[in-house]
Amino acid sequence: PDAPRSGSRRRRERRHEGEEERGEERQPHRGRMAEAARVRERRLGHPAHASPRFRQARAMTPLRHVPLSVLDLAPVTEGSTPGDALARSLDLARHVEALGYSRYWVAEHHNMPGIASSAPAVIIAHLAAGTERLRVGSGGVMLPNHAPLVVAEQFGTLEALHPGRIDLGLGRAPGTDGRTAYVLRRGDQGSGDEFPAQLGELIAYFEGRVEGITAVPGEGESPEIWLLGSSGFSAQLAGYLGLPFA
């Protein structure tokens, strides 16, 4: 039989058990992840990290080769100004460029006091001029808020100034409330169904396929075009047109 435990030893054991319980309470996700790994091992007969697919993916794409990017809304923090926010955006762009990041995108939002990114093309010009290699673009321009010809000229100008460094990410949401969207669109309250036609018109300006109208700069100065979305609509459209999707 086991020798009787002293009172101090019992207290140490109880304290150790209490620390383990508190540790589990602080990190409940570890238990869930461990259980998920056990389920996978029971189903597949081997742990996740031992699967051939996992080893192949890890060998093909080491972490240092994963392209990293930034999406910036230029937040206006309490006690600061929009000018301060835009200055911080440039500081951040320079910092992540030094770290080897691939892209830096700015969003389009309107009538939001805490967000300074209402004019992506202007901010992109500022960031691209202040960096050297980083791709800079929109994440994204809400195309229904703008005439496609204007977008083609703006981003054609950016591409002419910074060749091979400009991305044009496009979305179909208003990026604001209904009243502001009404003002931006001059009363046109489209549902977004016209987005494919607007996109086609925009691409036609870059490719010089609009009879009698030339985007200058724009024609022959196309940035890399991306479609943005949170639903299947834009993803399907991107697949149909062979465009990248985010």
Question: Which whole number is the average pLDDT over 68-75?
Answer: 96
Structure tokens at 211: 């009879």
Q: Would you say 170 and 105 are in contact if contact means Cβ atoms under 8 Å apart? A: no
Q: Kindly list the distances between the CA atom of residue 114 and the CA atoms of 105, 178, 181, 199, in Å, as whole numbers in the listed order.
A: 18, 18, 18, 30
Please report which helix (H) or strand (E) contains residue 105, including its range.
Answer: strand 103-106
Q: What is the reported pTM? A: 0.72
Between CA 57 and CA 174 the distance in angstroms is 38
CB atoms near residue 230 (< 10 Å): 9
Asked whether the predicted pLDDT for residue 122 surpasses 70, the reply is yes
Lowest mean pLDDT among 27-31, 51-55, 72-76, 81-85: 27-31
Lowest mean pLDDT among 43-47, 119-123, 143-147: 43-47
